[in-house]
């Protein structure tokens, strides 16, 4: 196992009725900016619960944060934070609202030029407005991590940043908030969380049995509980297990002391940037190609994944790896997410655009930094 340091300061308030506790967790006298997305919180009663919980505070609202949150929209919120002397941000929604609010938190305090540099040049985030969240969509883990992914429409770029300064002070995880999710978003959440585990697991062995078995337990839980949520959205226990799995998949714990890949995400972000395909769906397209193209480098972990998660014990090495890739893709398909590029009606010249973008960036991706434009082409063509 590699050396590591791990600190996760996010307080998790888990379970039914948790939203009531929001006010008690915000510093007294704060002036709050309540951020949200396209309005789902008005339909499912979450907005009313949140407003009741913060009735003793002065509150300004900023809605309309889009899925794959837009830099252009978020910069308008930054103006509100400055003009209204906001001292606390409360985001209510899925990963997009939480990520967007992390960026607002950092950009409002950024003093070293254009806030876009936080994303494009990974400029240091020295300070951020404190932030709490009420999660309504289990998927990204953003509620308990330091990352955010932002899209700039003007340039069709989707870029990420990480900073401990934007980790939420607290996150409320009330499984009942997901009762109103469209099936498509539940499926997205299952696949996104599953691939987060894979990115931190499917690399090469470094003798880290704790991380490996934590990772396998999250994947198995998603495989067991995900379909239960899809079958009966009001199944509280399944919703709770799904929600906690998604948070655990990307709160940093399973990734400590082990190599990490993230190539599937990096390539997937380009498919969203160019075509607006939902984040999780891009991962379902890309991952099988990554598994296939990197089957030699990932051989040990592919066999371990096959044996421990998919119960594949028969056949020679190549056959077992083929079955493991097939089972993984079938799982994505089984929750309603197509895994082939043509399923999304994407023009094939997209592959050229994505490869030339990676060419210009000049660095390679993956746990061994050995995936360059030619490999990315092979990965995407594998999905044609
Ligand atoms: O905007 P509203 O009206 O709230 O509707 C949303 C949105 O349309 C809806 N929704 C959310 N909760 C709901 C609900 N509808 C009914 N009932 C509820 N309880 O769902 C739609 C999608 O929401 P969004 O927040 O976009 O989805 P998700 O949570 O999957 O977030 C995706 C974003 O997170 C980024 C992705 O790239 C993408 O931009 N990621 C962030 C990560 C991180 N911060 O660590 C890691 C991930 O890998 C990912 O990249
Ligand atoms: Zn993801």
Mean pLDDT of 331-359: 95
With a 6 Å cutoff on the Cβ, whether 96 touches ligand 1 is: yes
Please report the pLDDT score of residue 348 as a whole number: 81
Task: Report the residue among 152, 159, 172, 185 best suited for mutation to probe ligand 1: largest number of ligand atoms under 8 A from its CB.
Answer: 185
Give the CATH architecture of domain 183-381.
Up-down Bundle (1.20)
The helix (run of H) or strand (run of E) holding residue 119 is: helix 117-120
Neighbour tally for 22: CB within 10 Å: 23
Asked if 303 contacts 337 with a C-beta cutoff of 8 angstroms, the reply is no
End-to-end CA distance of the chain: 37
Closest CA to 264 of 206, 208, 195: 195
Q: Which ligand is nearest to the CA of 151?
A: 1
56 pLDDT above the threshold of 90: yes
Name the band, by pLDDT with cuts 50, 70 and 90, for residue 82: very high
Q: Among 3.40.50.1970, 3.40.190.10, 3.40.109.10, 3.40.50.2300, name the CATH number for the domain at 11-177.
A: 3.40.50.1970
Q: Residue ranges of the domains in the chain? A: 11-177, 183-381
Please report the pLDDT score of residue 383 as a whole number: 87
With a 6 Å cutoff on the Cβ, whether 139 touches ligand 1 is: yes
Q: Which ligand is nearest to the CA of 279?
A: 1
Neighbour tally for 218: CB within 10 Å: 25
Half-sphere exposure of 33 (CA within 13 A, CB side): 29
What is the tens place of the pLDDT at every residue in 336-349? 999 999 999 988 89
Please report the pLDDT score of residue 347 as a whole number: 84
Residues with Cβ within 8 Å of 28's Cβ and at least 6 positions away in sequence, in order, are none
Token pair, residue 368, equals 């061994």
Closest CA to 197 of 267, 236, 252: 252
Alpha-carbon distance of 34 to 29, in angstroms, equals 15
Mean pLDDT of 135-163: 97
Q: Calculate how far, in angstroms, residue 282's C-alpha sits from the geometric centre of ligand 2.
A: 9
- What percent of the chain clears pLDDT 70, i.e. is strictly above it? 100
129 pLDDT above the threshold of 90: yes
Q: Which ligand is nearest to the CA of 159?
A: 1
Q: Which ligand is nearest to the CA of 137?
A: 1
The CA-based diameter of the chain, rounded to the nearest angstrom, is 65
Q: Which residue, by CA, sits nearest to atom 22 of ligand 1?
A: 67
Mean pLDDT of 190-209: 98
- Closest ligand 1 atom to 150 CA: 39
With a 6 Å cutoff on the Cβ, whether 185 touches ligand 1 is: yes
Name the band, by pLDDT with cuts 50, 70 and 90, for residue 302: very high
Task: Report the residue among 43, 71, 95 best suited for mutation to probe ligand 1: largest number of ligand atoms under 8 A from its CB.
Answer: 95
384 pLDDT above the threshold of 90: no
What is the tens place of the pLDDT at every residue in 271-301? 999 999 999 999 999 999 999 999 999 999 9
Asked whether the CA dihedral 74, 46, 188, 7 is positive or negative, the reply is positive
Please report the pLDDT score of residue 326 as a whole number: 98
What is the tens place of the pLDDT at every residue in 220-246? 999 999 999 999 999 999 999 999 999
Task: Report the residue among 279, 281, 284, 335 best suited for mutation to probe ligand 1: largest number of ligand atoms under 8 A from its CB.
Answer: 279
Please report the pLDDT score of residue 11 as a whole number: 98
Please report the pLDDT score of residue 244 as a whole number: 98
Q: Calculate how far, in angstroms, residue 95's C-alpha sits from the geometric centre of ligand 1.
A: 4
Q: What is the 3-state secondary structure (H, E, C) of 331-344?
A: HHHHCCCCCCHHHH
With a 6 Å cutoff on the Cβ, whether 141 touches ligand 1 is: yes
Judging by beta carbons within 10 Å of its beta carbon (0-12, 13-18, 19+), is residue 14 exposed, middle or buried?
middle
Token pair, residue 224, equals 């067991």
With a 6 Å cutoff on the Cβ, whether 70 touches ligand 1 is: no
What is the tens place of the pLDDT at every residue in 94-127? 999 999 999 999 999 999 999 999 999 999 999 9
pTM: 0.98
What is the tens place of the pLDDT at every residue in 16-54? 999 999 999 999 999 999 999 999 999 999 999 999 999
């Amino acid at each position: 196992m590699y050396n590591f340091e791990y600190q996760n300061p996010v307080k998790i308030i888990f379970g039914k009725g948790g939203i009531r506790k929001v006010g008690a967790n915000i510093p007294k006298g704060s002036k709050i900016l309540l951020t949200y997305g396209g309005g789902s919180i008005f339909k499912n009663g979450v907005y009313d619960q949140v407003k009741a919980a913060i009735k003793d505070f002065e509150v300004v609202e900023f809605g309309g944060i889009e899925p794959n949150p837009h830099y252009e929209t978020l910069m308008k919120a930054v103006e509100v934070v400055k003009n209204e002397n906001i001292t606390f941000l409360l985001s209510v929604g899925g990963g997009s609202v939480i990520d967007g609010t992390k960026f607002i938190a950092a950009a409002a305090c950024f003093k070293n030029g254009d806030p876009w540099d936080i994303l494009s040049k990974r400029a240091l985030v020295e300070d951020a407005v404190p932030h709490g969240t009420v999660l309504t969509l289990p998927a990204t883990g953003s509620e308990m991590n330091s990352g955010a992914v932002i899209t700039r429409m003007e340039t069709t770029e989707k870029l990420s940043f990480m900073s401990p300064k934007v980790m939420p002070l607290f996150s409320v995880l009330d499984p009942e908030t997901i009762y109103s999710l469209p099936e498509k978003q539940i499926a997205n959440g299952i696949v996104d969380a599953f691939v987060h585990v894979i990115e931190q697991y499917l690399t090469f062995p470094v003798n880290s049995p704790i991380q490996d078995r934590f990772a396998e337990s999250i994947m198995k839980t998603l495989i067991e509980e995900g379909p239960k949520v899809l079958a009966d959205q009001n199944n509280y226990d399944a919703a709770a297990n799904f929600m906690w799995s998604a948070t655990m998949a990307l709160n940093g714990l399973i990734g400590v002391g082990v190599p990490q890949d993230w190539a599937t995400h990096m390539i997937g972000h380009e498919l969203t940037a160019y075509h607006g395909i939902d984040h999780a769906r891009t991962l379902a397209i890309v991952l099988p190609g990554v598994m296939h193209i990197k089957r030699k480098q990932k051989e040990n972990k592919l066999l371990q994944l096959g044996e421990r998660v998919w119960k594949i014990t028969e056949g020679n090495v190549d056959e077992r790896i083929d079955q493991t890739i097939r089972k993984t893709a079938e799982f994505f398909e089984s929750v309603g997410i197509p895994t082939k590029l043509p399923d999304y009606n994407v023009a094939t010249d997209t592959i050229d655009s994505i490869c030339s973008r990676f060419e210009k960036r000049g660095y390679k991706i993956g746990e061994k930094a050995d995936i360059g434009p030619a490999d990315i082409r092979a990965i995407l063509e594998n999905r044609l």
